[in-house]
Structure 1
């Protein structure tokens, strides 16, 4: 949808052009008129316009002054000037000011339509211009480190599409690490912040910690640092060479340097840090499990809980212990997806929600031998998610009519895990059904409000922008939504409503055609005639005569 504003102090010119564009179907246009530059600026301050078709010589502010103001409001707006004067000076000023075209009013309707079509083409071309593509490329270079950080944190959480794509992704994001070599993780935590440090100061301190660590590590190992949470940093480390002796030497160097880094940060930054580090370089497939282990290790630190330097225990675990560790990691990783499940619930994405729900519930099944404490964690995590949704949408009474909500907060009320899983699944299904019912109701209510407004304002402003303002939706989105829900475009509905009312008034016989045209929202009788004949194939007067004749025949 392209929004066009026509500006001229000659009212008949504005009306004729509104009529011209109102019946031109080559472009999807929403057309407005203004009778002065001041009125045009008022409209430009309320909504975005894509093309302005303006006279140059107008009382008060002329078209060239208006052009400068338009640039302040909407820099991408295309401007076409109409003038009754073929003056070279005007043309020069227009082109210097970035005008799109300059037309004489005597050139006719075809030239005006062609100019608007060309301006519309330039609007779309501007998005694909080389300059914008180059600017986007430069911006990508600036944000690439952020994208890399986000990708690696997703990988650590187990949310990455898969490490098979790692090499390609590393190349795309210019990652300094090697996808084919093992990686060792180290977590650093600021144990406490000094009271005088502001939020900005703390960000600066985290940046300084990263610099200090890299000063020590970079000569001997490859290093990439990421910030996660408000007081933690994650380092991903690799040896410079991949021979066994190189890995062992790099491992001793990393572990031995942790205390030095902590002491430097304490002396230079007046901050106390704790570290937990992996025991070995592991394949990237195992990095999420190591990340989970190091987080737990740091949280279980002994002593005062500050200034810790903890190394992951290196042990040759039996198959049973390895399976238990893997199982606990799967639960931790799946619980980390509760945020995504909340989004699926909120957005009504039922299939995606139950896919993740099934994965999480399966981890607590008796066949997996899950510890009862982990079952409780899984149950109450899901319970909090569903309860939060019910609270926000005030669904307790509705859901309570068909389900016993007293069981929700009591895991012991369920005789088995299968019973608890079925209960939570049924509750989630009820929430999706309620959301669907609510969406249908709101969609029906929206259509009703749109149609009532159109019905009661046929003589007034029925532009998409005005209707959107009334019902609280962006006009572009509203037109798409209305078409999806009804199968008819909103402009077509407005036109059919105006036509039906016009036919009704013509059949009544008491109003002249000029009054009928105003009653259904047309600025001129001429534009009403053109509209009516396009829709029915006959003129309004012919329609009235046929109706009168048909009525007389029926009475005989």
Structure 2
């Protein structure tokens, strides 16, 4: 419910508006009265008001001056100005001040009620919008740790973005200060009893370990964590703001603290959670540019130094380059080729393949193994796409291009590029043909439904219900496939059948109209004449005389 304030130096106007109009009808449950602008300000300062109706011409302070003051103090209040002067200058100034309405006296109670009702509805929509926004903000705040984890996981998988996009995303996640800072990566692998838990219990354990890490590292470092695709807990460890200011300048001290805190985390998990973890602290790098490389190096170090053992701690910061031979990064960075194929994003598919081939030619053109790696990655992705669509790859691209005997397609990076250039257009063409075929089949079903129900009043909604589609989609699909609207097709069928039925002299015109779903014979005659330029009877006569 809303509160209304009526302001006018004429008491009769105030009393009349306050007591003769059914304000409750539009949601006004309380009406307050002021007989001057100064009295109105006193009320506004002590009591809530949602809508104010004010006269313009008042002594000492007029309505425009009052609105100018209220707009700066009570921004959400709606104001309606009344004036007995049909003066455009008043209206122009009222609009400039942002008044909701400007009414000229005399004005009827119905108009006042209508305008105030509009202000009430406007306030209601604003409040609902504000409440929705606040709920969304609250939900975002509650889920912020999870959203941060999801974003960090995308970085681990190699997601790329321009620097300005990084800045915007990290600012939204309240992690903008991490940009450009050095960070160490810490991997935590849950083991033994912790791996045997249900997904629910495992999630609780991850949360508990994360909280423990925050408490142990918190005074000295800032942590950003997520769970990766292997089930490992990945922590990026940043220096705290105090550290960045120079309170802990010695790198050796920082390394010792990292080792100490990591060991403390391992011990606390064992003591309080009765579980076993292995911890690896990897190399340092710049955030977010080095995230992918730090992660891959840490995974390699974990496999190399820990392997299948448990309850291990490794500090890999001082190691030399662990694996000089690297895999093709573009193959495994999102968006992944299999996902792009599933979505049918052919432009992005082409760009992805071009990126893979470019990396291959620039960094690994002399490596036969890398060429083969790229070929089988692409070949398996294309094969999986074909199989998900109920076909073999050979059916789509031909037996020769699908044949891997001898691996002739991947003898060099150039031959692989040539093979991709031959295969991709065939795949895209096949997909487009399948889409056209499905579209054609759907439109054929629509046409059959229309023909079977021609004697009824066929509507777009009825066709949509039959097809389990939205009416707009039905309309677009039909127009795309046939080149004309559903209504035009229905009319054509009805008129063609009408012309055929008119050849049966035993049928009356009204009977033909009913057979075609026209319950008003006169309307049928008008439609027929508009279509054929002659009436049904004139058409029938022309059939008898043999004249067109």
What TM-score bracket applies, with the shorter chain setting the length?
Answer: 0.5 to 0.7
- For structure 1, which runs of at least 5 residues remain unmatched after alignment? 1-117
SS of residue matched to 2:236: strand
Separation of aligned partners in 2, 1:135 and 1:536: 59
Correspondence list, 1:345-360, <5 A? 345-360=341-356
Separation of aligned partners in 2, 1:290 and 1:222: 18
> 2:71 — aligned with what?
none
1:293 aligns with 2:297: yes
> 2:539 — aligned with what?
547
Does the 8 A contact of 1:529 with 1:539 survive in 2?
A: no
SS of residue matched to 1:238: strand
Which whole-Å deviations, capped at 9, do the CAs of 1:190-249 have from their partners, x for residues lacking one?
134457621211111111111111110112111122122262111122112325644734
Separation of aligned partners in 2, 1:137 and 1:512: 69
Number of corresponding residues = 422
Separation of aligned partners in 2, 1:178 and 1:439: 46
> 1:154 — aligned with what?
154
Correspondence list, 1:465-504, <5 A? 465-504=461-500
Which whole-Å deviations, capped at 9, do the CAs of 1:233-279 have from their partners, x for residues lacking one?
11122112325644734443223211221121122223221222233
1:403 aligns with 2:407: no
Does the 8 A contact of 2:387 with 2:393 survive in 1?
A: yes
Correspondence list, 1:253-272, <5 A? 253-272=257-276
Query: Paired residue for 1:242, among 236, 241, 244?
Result: 244
SS of residue matched to 2:458: coil
Does the 8 A contact of 1:189 with 1:273 survive in 2?
A: yes
> 1:328 — aligned with what?
326
> 1:165 — aligned with what?
165
Q: CA deviation at 1:386?
A: 1.6
Q: CA deviation at 1:430?
A: 2.4
SS of residue matched to 1:285: coil
SS of residue matched to 1:224: strand
SS of residue matched to 1:307: coil
1:284 aligns with 2:292: no
Separation of aligned partners in 1, 2:230 and 2:127: 38
Separation of aligned partners in 2, 1:310 and 1:221: 19
Larger radius of gyration: 2
197-206 or 412-421: which moved more?
A: 412-421
Separation of aligned partners in 2, 1:349 and 1:340: 12
Q: CA deviation at 1:136?
A: 3.5
**CA shift in 2, pair 1:364/1:193, >3 Å:** farther
Separation of aligned partners in 2, 1:208 and 1:380: 41
Which whole-Å deviations, capped at 9, do the CAs of 1:504-542 have from their partners, x for residues lacking one?
4346444334433332234xx23x6447636854999x7
Separation of aligned partners in 2, 1:144 and 1:531: 64
348-357 or 189-198: which moved more?
A: 189-198
Separation of aligned partners in 1, 2:488 and 2:127: 29
Separation of aligned partners in 2, 1:466 and 1:126: 37
Q: CA deviation at 1:429?
A: 3.2
- For structure 2, which runs of at least 5 residues remain unmatched after alignment? 1-117
Separation of aligned partners in 1, 2:528 and 2:536: 15
> 1:184 — aligned with what?
184
Q: RMSD of the TM alignment (CA)?
A: 3.7
> 1:207 — aligned with what?
207
Q: CA deviation at 1:156?
A: 2.8
Separation of aligned partners in 1, 2:523 and 2:315: 84
Does the 8 A contact of 1:266 with 1:272 survive in 2?
A: yes
Separation of aligned partners in 1, 2:130 and 2:491: 41
- Please, what TM-score do these two structures have when normalized by structure 2? 0.67
Separation of aligned partners in 1, 2:387 and 2:415: 24
SS of residue matched to 2:357: helix
1:446 aligns with 2:425: no
Correspondence list, 1:527-546, <5 A? 529-530=522-523, 533=526, 536-537=529-530, 543-546=535-538
Correspondence list, 1:60-71, <5 A? none
SS of residue matched to 2:182: coil
